[in-house]
Structures are given as C-alpha cells and as structure tokens.
A = this chain, B = another copy of it.
Amino acid sequence: MSEYADTVVRVRYAETDQMGMVYYGNYYIYAEVGRVEYMRQHGIDYRQMEIDDDCFIVVAESKCRYRRSARFDDPLRIRTRVTELRKRTVRFAFEIFHHETGELLANGETVHVVCDRNGRPKALPDKYRGFFDVAPASDGTSKE
C-alpha cells in the first residue's frame, strides 16, 4: 500500500475558461477525484461509506497554489496523500502534475471533518482507520 495514490485525468473543454486555461476553482474537482481514488486504492469505497456508515467527509478548509497553467486536453496526474489523521479530522495533500512532462502545475490541501448526514461531527469508524496511510507532508503547504 503506497503512501500516495496517483490517478490520471484529461482536462475537459468545460473546465477551461476564456483565459484558455483551467478555471481556478476546477482544480478542487481534480483534488476530489484524487481523494476518492486514494480511498479506492486503500480499500475504501467512499460511496458505500456514506450509505453504510452514515459517514461523510465534509470539507472544512481548502487551499491551492497555482504554479503553471493546465490547458485543454492536458493529461494530469493527481497525486494524493493523507498528511494527518485525527479522531474526527483528515488532512489530504494533493499535487497535480502534467502527466507527460512531469511539471508540477498546482498543489494544495484539504482538511475534512467526519460527519453524519445531518452534519454533526463524529469519529471516523475504526474499521476505516487502518486504511489511511499517513505520510509526512511533501512540502510546506500543510505546515502553515
């Protein structure tokens, strides 16, 4: 089980804006795709976690640094880590690379609170705890 999970997506036309690059808010969609894939690769089916365990991973904070612009049809490699796991919170870091050139295009992190369907915080069920593999942050983004 790797400490990170990689997944590759292509930039869609819908995700660009009139500046000819990916709209800044859409990197957070890539980050979400990365988190779901991280969980899948670590044995967690997030869809079932919501249904079976009444367990929602609600976003409490998000941030991103944009380094180079992603463009239509670029293949992006989304690399996702868990950098902190507490009783009720999980912190994910993401890096988005151009899949062919390897350039880092953007990176950031998201902090999540485990909640029930009514938005009340709850502890992450023990059965999931072991699936997360906490990695030290790869750069300064999670230390602020």
Contacts and interface: CB of A to CB of B under 8 A. Distances in A.
25 contacts: A10-B33, A12-B29, A12-B32, A12-B33, A12-B36, A13-B23, A13-B36, A14-B25, A16-B17, A17-B17, A18-B18, A18-B20, A18-B21, A19-B56, A19-B58, A24-B28, A24-B32, A24-B59, A25-B32, A45-B73, A58-B66, A59-B66, A61-B65, A62-B66, A63-B64
Interface in A36-50: 36, 45-47
Contact of A13 (B20, B32, B65): B32
A62 B34 CA distance: 18
A62 B134 CA distance: 25
A36 B19 CA distance: 15
